[in-house]
Amino acid sequence: MYTQNGIGKMRMYDAEPTVLSAFENSGVEIIVGVTNQDIQTLASSEDAAAQWFNTNIKPHYPAANITYISVGNEILPADQVNAPLLFPAMQNLYAAIQVAGLDSEIKVSTAHSMAVLGNSYPPSAGAFSAQVADTMKSILGFLAYTGSPFMINVYPYFSYSSDPKDILLDYALFLPTNPVVDGNLTYNNLFDAMVDAVFSAMGALGSPNVPIVVTESGWPSNGTDDATISNAETYNNNFIQHVLSSAGTPKRPGQSIESFVFAMFNEDQKPGAITEQHFGLFYPDTKLPVYPVNFTLH
């Protein structure tokens, strides 16, 4: 389905061997995930991290085009067990990749939610929360040293749905509306404002040049008044065109932002809010599209 639809990248949240085998020789670039449950093991020693890498990655690489490994997903700030283990786990995994001689090909990072920011508005005042600042400074130094990206999950939907009085729906959907001005920068959509808040936060900790990869973004097609097929189709198509256009953001114009749509399929059995089941672009049973999506720049 990926190659048929012109999708050149995929994010996995684990290292499921049958999936990696299925994507061998496809050319699709893959982010492989270390599960949150495996972080403690990787943090325990370099040998443990090497065993994880040799078991889960080496049998499939380079036939499977693995470009990044994300150590966990959205650990900071809420996961009090894994938060102090996250950076050691990243260091140990990087050491294992170095030993394998693949540190130029496979980069190590970790995916964050926007909850790591203590302030996101205006974008120029973006800052990490005090709770995560020390750990984040270590992670950013590691990313800069290893040439790895900062991974962030960016959802204008959640920002809009939590504050619909102050955020216009059209602004969240990449539709024409009154811009938001921040100093000498003008924002025409919420996504750019959120990403630039992260750039500002990184700069405030002394790492302004680490690139960003948006590891999740999307819009649900059911579950609330604003979670509709029409809005999801509008957001995801406009989002894809925006990140493929190399327009960048007002703070980083002309720089394309490597990005991933969440998710490929609806998740009918996922617990929680109804919206959580309806972020998919395709139905899991029929593999038919929930709505039309253009994955190529036009």
Asked about 29 being catalytic, the answer comes back as: no
CA distances from 198 to 120, 125, 157, 162, 204 (A): 8, 9, 17, 19, 10
Name the catalytic one among 24, 46, 105, 216: 216
Map tokens 């990140």 to a residue.
243
Catalytic residue among 24, 29, 74, 105: 74
Residue from 12, 54, 19, 4 nearest 34 by CA: 12
Q: Is the dihedral of CA 110, 134, 155, 252 positive or negative?
A: negative
Of the candidates 12, 110, 98, the residue with the CA atom closest to the CA atom of residue 53? 98
233 is catalytic: no
Q: What is the C-alpha separation between 263 and 282, in angstroms, rounded?
A: 9
In the chain, the DSSP E strands lie at: 9-11, 29-34, 65-73, 107-113, 117-119, 127-128, 150-153, 180-182, 185-187, 212-216, 258-259
Measured CA distances, 247 to 37, 133, 186, 253, 287 (Å): 38, 30, 13, 6, 32
- 269 CB-side CA count, 13 A: 2
Dihedral sign computed on CA atoms, order 73, 74, 76, 78: negative
Catalytic site positions: 74, 216
